[in-house]
Copies of this chain bind each other. A is one copy, B any other.
Amino acid sequence: MNSRLHFGAIIDTLKKVLPWNDEKVFLHEPYMQGNEWDYVKECLDTGWVSSAGKYVDLFESKVAEFTGVKHAVAVVNGTAALQLALQLVEVKAGDEVLVPALTFVATANAVAHCGAVPHFIDSDEKTLGVNPSKLAAYLEEIAEMRQNGCFNKQSGRRIKAVVPMHTFGHPVDIEPLLELCGQYKLELVEDAAESLGSYYKGIHTGNFGKLSILSFNGNKIVTTGGGGAILTNDTYLAGMAKHLTTQAKLPHKWAFCHDMVGYNYRMPNINAALGCAQLEQLPSFIVKKRDLARRYQEAFQGVEGVSVFSEPDFARSNYWLNVLLIDEKYIDHREELLAMTNRQNLMTRPAWTLLHKLSMYNECPRMDLKGSESLERRIINIPSSAFL
């Protein structure tokens, strides 16, 4: 039998880092100490709460400015953003899309919402995201280039795109992925749902894909209640994204004419107002969250059996959710650690169940997923709100 993980030391260390007073410490809570009241109240006072209004435009320009991506289109959530981004790079029903097995289910759902098939690829311990060298070897084995793109020799389906996800805010190693995309004519769509405020070699995540997406769900570093955005440096695609999110209505003073099958995916003004106030505080949130990560890293240095995940060399991360990695020899004790910490009101959780293990995706194609399987066993998220 393995030696026992020293639960007491881990819990004591968490309590030492966190401002803990017996009350429940959540994984990630919103923090609203800025202009949230003022902006939201203005929406109510003027009646501009819905899909038109100044805050939607303002929010989009502020997101674009912060990320350095030319265009941002604000939508109802990150899943909808990803579905549309995939449609905009012409993922069609029956195509395959390469997605990490280690990601939130929404990444694969967005693929499925396009009628396409998620094809699961492995992740890397250094980044928690897609492992580019392993993907290169895999594509060499299974991919066949034809006139109309890259095909999976095993399934016969076209592989149209790859969707790396910046896990818990940590940038994936994206340059080699871009090279692979060039080589195999795959579209790159970045799932930056968790990485607002994270940089790859000094450039904000979301600048590398033909399109990228953000999420502003309640648990994200910046929230709009529910919301997301499509990012792109391509002006035509940005225009199409906006058109498709507003039921593809053609501009006219009074007539109702639509030229495509569109969606009601526009972010409401009241949610954008909240987002504007939150964005103003984003730089301070990042400082606070990086400081919390540093405190965790220092405090856990002497603790046997666990380590705190640190950003890769090439990255400057928002540390959206901090990760405690349990050493392989102690993984039998993970469930007990989860139970014990949650019982003590210190909220922790494991990584997502790997997506190929979920019933609706277990017939989907996948590569060897040893890296993801190890990470799935070892990851525990620990409280990471900006105010902690």
Q: Tell me which of B77, B247, B261, B268 contacts A271 (CB under 8 A).
A: B268
Cα distance A347–B31 when bound, in Å? Answer: 41
- Which one of A59-67, A107-115, A136-144, A231-239 is at the B interface? A107-115
Q: Tell me which of B51, B218, B249 contacts A52 (CB under 8 A).
A: B218
A side interface size, CB within 8 A:
70
Chain B residues lying within 8 Å of A260, measured Cβ to Cβ, are 359-360
Cα distance A338–B254 when bound, in Å? Answer: 8
Chain B residues lying within 8 Å of A217, measured Cβ to Cβ, are 50-51, 264
- Which one of A36-44, A163-171, A194-202 is at the B interface? A36-44
Chain B residues lying within 8 Å of A261, measured Cβ to Cβ, are 109, 112-113, 360
Judge whether B115 and A115 touch: CB under 8 Å: yes
Chain B residues lying within 8 Å of A36, measured Cβ to Cβ, are 44
Cα distance A26–B94 when bound, in Å? Answer: 45
Q: Tell me which of B49, B226, B349 contacts A223 (CB under 8 A).
A: B49
Judge whether A44 and B50 touch: CB under 8 Å: no
Q: Tell me which of B49, B77, B248 contacts A264 (CB under 8 A).
A: B77
Q: Tell me which of B29, B218, B253 contacts A342 (CB under 8 A).
A: B253
Chain B residues lying within 8 Å of A338, measured Cβ to Cβ, are 254
Q: Tell me which of B40, B48, B268, B342 contacts A40 (CB under 8 A).
A: B40
Q: CB within 8 Å of B: which of A19-41?
A: 29-32, 36-37, 40-41
Chain B residues lying within 8 Å of A212, measured Cβ to Cβ, are none
User: From residue A78, how far is it (CB to closest CB) to chain B in Å?
Assistant: 7
Chain B residues lying within 8 Å of A43, measured Cβ to Cβ, are 225
Cα distance A57–B349 when bound, in Å? Answer: 25
Q: CB within 8 Å of B: which of A86-124?
A: 93, 104-106, 109, 112-113, 115
> What is the chain B residue whose CB lies nearest that of A348?
B254
Given contacts A109-B247, A259-B358, A360-B259, contact A49 B30 (CB under 8 A): yes
Most chain B beta-carbon contacts within 10 A, residue among A40, A263, A264, A266? A264
Interface code A327-344, partner B: CB below 8 Å = 1, 0 otherwise? 000000000001000100
Cα distance A255–B255 when bound, in Å? Answer: 49
Cα distance A36–B43 when bound, in Å? Answer: 11
Judge whether A105 and B226 touch: CB under 8 Å: no
Cα distance A22–B258 when bound, in Å? Answer: 31
Cα distance A44–B78 when bound, in Å? Answer: 21
Chain B residues lying within 8 Å of A176, measured Cβ to Cβ, are none
Q: CB within 8 Å of B: which of A207-224?
A: 217-219, 223
Cα distance A258–B268 when bound, in Å? Answer: 28
Most chain B beta-carbon contacts within 10 A, residue among A105, A269, A271? A105
Report if A203 contacts B (CB, 8 A).
Answer: no
Cα distance A274–B253 when bound, in Å? Answer: 29
Chain B residues lying within 8 Å of A115, measured Cβ to Cβ, are 93, 115
Cα distance A76–B37 when bound, in Å? Answer: 22
Chain B residues lying within 8 Å of A41, measured Cβ to Cβ, are 37, 40-41
Judge whether A50 and B77 touch: CB under 8 Å: no
Query: Which A-B residue pairs are the 8 nearest by beta carbons?
Result: A50-B218, A225-B268, A226-B268, A254-B349, A79-B264, A256-B352, A225-B270, A49-B225
For this complex, 29 residue pairs linking A to B, each with C-beta atoms less than 8 Å apart, are: A30-B47, A32-B45, A36-B44, A37-B44, A43-B225, A48-B218, A49-B225, A51-B217, A51-B218, A76-B77, A104-B256, A105-B248, A105-B249, A105-B262, A115-B115, A217-B264, A225-B268, A225-B271, A226-B271, A254-B338, A254-B348, A255-B350, A255-B353, A256-B349, A258-B353, A258-B358, A259-B358, A259-B359, A271-B271
